[in-house]
Amino acid sequence: MPVRRGAPLRVLSILAQSPVGVAGSLIVTVVVVLAFIGPVISPHDPLNRNIRDRFKPPGFVDQSGNFYSLGNDQLGRDIFSRIIAGSRVSVLVGVVSVLIAGTLGVIYGLFSGFVGGIVDSVMMRIVDGLLAIPFIILVIAISGVVGAGLSTLILILGFTGWTTYARVIRGEVLKVRAMEYVIAAYALGQSRRKVMFLHILPNVVHSAIVLAAVQVGVTILAESSLSFLGLGVKPPTVTWGLMLSDGRQYINSAWWMTAFPGIAITITVLGVVFLGDWLRDFLDPNVRGRA
């Protein structure tokens, strides 16, 4: 029990020793907090239009004394409030899509690597065929056929991103199933299902966690790209990709319409990548043994 109570403090102490991990965790924490409490702290209504104050630059103060820190867009909407509102969509799409893809990929890779033989070969050829198609092109093609929308986009990203997990988990299962403790479990008379779920799965799931942390950033980029192209979330829902799409034709006269959403996407993706990089080192048995 003392070890379990001290585990969170130990994780925080190890995290504090990594500048990259600290930066990533802070960025991710800020984005997640904004996604949850955004409507409370948002200075203005992100959907409120005021044509009289359109294209106002950062630092603009209107006649009523309202301050617009990042300026307004072509319809007079506050850029800062819209960035806060867009964080909710990014977090929702990133997390839910990764959960769907990770669950499917882990189950697929676990079964393929555990069964082996001709079944494994056939299952991996399917994965190879899907991996041969660039992810973003596959998503764009499906989005163009199925249609746009937040729920549809989440499902598309979830059901097209599982192949990477399947490939990684299958490789881990092939390595773990030859370990002594797995052979000992068979010798003790445990069933194949128990060996797969009680002895193999817990020892490969850390790879899926690290991969999921990185894939959240990839998914956020995919959502922004699709929304930018008009194949993702549709107005009036606010997303960073739609903000970039709205501002691209005014980039010479109103640079802040594209600059600030682009910075938000860049910082968020970098934070997720930094956190995933730290998780990879933390969950590595060699690094964990030295910590």
pTM (two decimals): 0.84
The confidence score (pLDDT) of residue 290 equals 46
pLDDT at 234: 82
> How many CB atoms sit inside 10 A of residue 167's CB?
19
Report which of 140, 106, 107, 120 is spatially closest to residue 224, judged by C-alpha positions.
Answer: 140
Q: pLDDT in tens for each of the 291 residues of the chain?
A: 344 445 677 777 878 888 888 999 999 999 999 988 988 888 889 998 888 889 999 998 888 888 999 999 999 999 999 999 999 988 899 899 999 999 999 999 999 999 888 999 999 999 998 888 887 787 778 877 777 678 888 888 888 889 999 999 999 999 888 888 888 888 888 888 888 888 888 888 888 888 888 888 888 888 888 888 877 788 888 899 889 988 888 988 899 999 999 999 999 999 998 988 888 878 765 555 444
Tokens of 214: 């990185």
Give the span between the Cα atoms of 86 and 94, in whole angstroms. Answer: 12
Listed in sequence order, the DSSP H helices in the chain are 2-16, 19-41, 79-115, 117-131, 135-146, 150-160, 162-176, 180-187, 192-194, 205-229, 240-247, 256-283, 285-290
Q: Please report the pLDDT score of residue 82 as a whole number.
A: 93
How wide is the angle at C-alpha 188 spanned by C-alphas 184 and 190, nearest 5°?
A: 100
Q: From CA 27, how far away is CA 78, in angstroms rounded?
A: 22
pLDDT at residue 7, as a whole number: 64
- Tell me if 152 sits within 8 A of 191, measured CB to CB: no
